[in-house]
Amino acid sequence: MAHTVIDSHFELDSSWVTVMCRATRFHITVSYKDIQRSRFATEYSEMVAKIMEDDYEEDHDELCEWIVDQCLTYFQESTVNVPKEITFEEFYHPPTHHLKLLVSGSSLYPKATRDRGTMDAFHLMIPSGDLPPFSEVPRSKASDLRIISDTKWDDYMSEIPQKAIISDGTSKFFKPADDKKQLLREVDMHLRIRDAGLQDKIRVAHLHSIVVSNDAKMTIGLLFDLIPSTGDSLYSHKESASALEYHARWKQQITAIVEQLHSHNLVWGDVHPGNIVIDTSFDAWVVDFGGGSIVEFVPRKVAGTKDGDWQGVRKIFNEWILGKEKSRINGIAVFGEIPIKDKNMELLAAYLQSHPRFGSFLVDAMGLGKTFILSIHASTSWPGMWTIEEGTNRMVDTGGFVGTWQYHRWETGV
Ligand SMILES: Nc1ncnc2c1ncn2[C@@H]1O[C@H](COP(=O)(O)OP(=O)(O)O)[C@@H](O)[C@H]1O
Ligand SMILES: [Mg+2]
């Protein structure tokens, strides 16, 4: 069951996680006293202790998973009748199950319980009163925005949707309001871009509206015109052979956009490949004016300055896109032998199944002194289960073909 942890809180006495699964919310509590006379008490308290000591994200994930794993059947059974089409209002105010974990024999199981008031029902929303009026920007009501899930997937509506269908039937890009500071910068920048007369001169998606709850008290996100694109961002284009001939064009296009922005004293800010979208005509767009930055692309000292933008652009097009830097995925198992096409299928498939979204990644054949890059090109992003057909480079899921995988580079003697 695909699900998304949207909120969590850990303490030895009692911890909880809030999960979305098929447009339904589950708030699961585990209390030490409920499990204290079982082996689960030791497992639980060790995991909490690790979180308290180091506060590593992996430790949070481990405990979330430990709690959620006990509830997957419950999720499935209580979501069989979820409609395939709902509104954003329904997604943001979903039916909620309050559960607690109890021990029965040698297992943990979830039991329905009363609402103890620990859940933040307005998580992922910003009170509209905390924001400036932004009277120049139209509002869209969440109940007028439809979410259509892909019915070929069994596990749908667990993640915040990226697309909204407005009343005239067109699709818009939805960006959730998960951070007030980012939302403020984003709206402000789009207004400045408009005021500077740049709106139709540069490839930056038009800000369509601010999405609010029905009573308008909560702001839940922003709608932008949808950039017609198949892959998500430059990340999905890095390794594709056809992308090579476009490198110079994209560099030139992004440079031109940044020059235009800078000439009006507007700084892009968070320059990295994920914030460059390639459209279906292979033109490059700039997205994400939320600020912040990734140090790999924009050094912290210059973040938010024109110089920072240029350092980021150079890093992307003079180094990153040429594959000069190396990144490493932690946690890939040691391959028993150097992977050869069509071998290690199960391991590869298992690994890929746990990483439903990415454009490309590098696998290190650890200990063998050999490195190869494996990259994935999918025609769509996809949740849940899919596999690589034995003996081919085709990826399939229950709905059929989703893309191809291929080995791209083979380096020896590293
Ligand atoms: N207007 C748009 N149309 C289509 N896809 C978009 C649009 N804006 C952003 N995206 C895609 O969604 C991703 C996330 O959007 P972004 O604005 O970067 O938000 P975040 O702050 O979550 O990084 C981008 O990397 C890009 O692939
Ligand atoms: Mg981004």
Structure tokens at 224: 């932008």
Residue in 80, 236, 91 with CA at minimum distance from that of residue 161: 91
Q: What is the pLDDT of residues 307-347, one digit of tens each?
A: 999 999 999 998 888 765 433 322 222 222 333 333 344 44
Residue 297 CA to residue 318 CA, distance in Å, equals 11
Side-chain half-sphere CA neighbours of 307 within 13 A: 5
Whose C-alpha lies nearest to ligand 1, atom 1? 226
Whose C-alpha lies nearest to ligand 1, atom 20? 288
Structure tokens at 186: 């984003």
CA of 275 to the centre of ligand 2 (A): 5
- Strands 107-112 and 163-165, by their bridges, are unpaired
Residue 346 CA to residue 330 CA, distance in Å, equals 18
- DSSP for 89-123 reads HHHHS--EEEEEEEEETTEEEEEE----S-S-TTT
- Residues 137, 221, single domain; the answer is yes
Ligand 1 touching residue 224 (CB < 6 A): yes
- Residues 295, 251, single domain; the answer is yes
CA of 290 to the centre of ligand 2 (A): 8
Note whether residue 157 is domain-resident: yes
- Residues 32, 102, single domain; the answer is yes
CA of 227 to the centre of ligand 1 (A): 9
Ligand 1 touching residue 88 (CB < 6 A): no
Whichever domain contains 211, its CATH number is 3.30.200
How many other β-carbons are positioned within 10 Å of the β-carbon of residue 375?
Answer: 19
- pLDDT of amino acid 377: 37
Ligand 1 atom nearest the C-alpha of 233 is 27
- Residues 106, 15, single domain; the answer is yes
Whose C-alpha lies nearest to ligand 1, atom 12? 232
- Residues 315, 400, single domain; the answer is no
- Residues 215, 308, single domain; the answer is no
Whose C-alpha lies nearest to ligand 1, atom 18? 288
- Residues 93, 131, single domain; the answer is no
- pLDDT of amino acid 135: 96
CA of 288 to the centre of ligand 2 (A): 5
- Residues 13, 98, single domain; the answer is yes
| Nearest listed ligand to the Cα of residue 290 | 1
Domain that holds residue 283: 234-322
Note whether residue 336 is domain-resident: no
- Residues 247, 211, single domain; the answer is no
Domain count, the chain: 4
**What's the per-residue H, E or C state across 315-350?**
HHHHHHHHCCCCCCCCCCCCCCCCCCCCCCHHHHHH
CA of 287 to the centre of ligand 1 (A): 6
Note whether residue 17 is domain-resident: yes
- Residues 165, 194, single domain; the answer is yes
- Tell me which of 204, 225, 246 is where a domain ends: 225
Q: In whole angstroms, how far apart are CA 303 and each of 63, 179, 181, 188?
A: 34, 18, 15, 18
Ligand 1 atom nearest the C-alpha of 226 is 3
CA of 175 to the centre of ligand 2 (A): 10
- Residues 10, 106, single domain; the answer is yes
| Nearest listed ligand to the Cα of residue 286 | 1
- pLDDT of amino acid 353: 41
Note whether residue 340 is domain-resident: no
Residues of the chain with pLDDT under 50: 325-393, 395-414
Residue in 30, 7, 49 with CA at minimum distance from that of residue 108: 30
Whose C-alpha lies nearest to ligand 1, atom 17? 288
- Residues 283, 262, single domain; the answer is yes
- pLDDT of amino acid 251: 95
Ligand 1 atom nearest the C-alpha of 227 is 3
Note whether residue 86 is domain-resident: yes
Q: What is the pLDDT of residues 195-242, one digit of tens each?
A: 999 999 999 999 999 999 999 999 999 999 999 987 678 887 776 656
- Tell me which of 225, 251, 282 is where a domain ends: 225
Whose C-alpha lies nearest to ligand 1, atom 11? 232
Q: How far is CA 348 from the centre of its chain?
A: 21
Note whether residue 292 is domain-resident: yes
- pLDDT of amino acid 231: 63
Residue 233 CA to residue 353 CA, distance in Å, equals 21
Whichever domain contains 315, its CATH number is 1.10.510.10
Note whether residue 328 is domain-resident: no
Note whether residue 101 is domain-resident: yes
- Tell me which of 192, 225, 258 is where a domain ends: 225
CA of 1 to the centre of ligand 2 (A): 27
- pLDDT of amino acid 373: 36
Whose C-alpha lies nearest to ligand 1, atom 23? 288
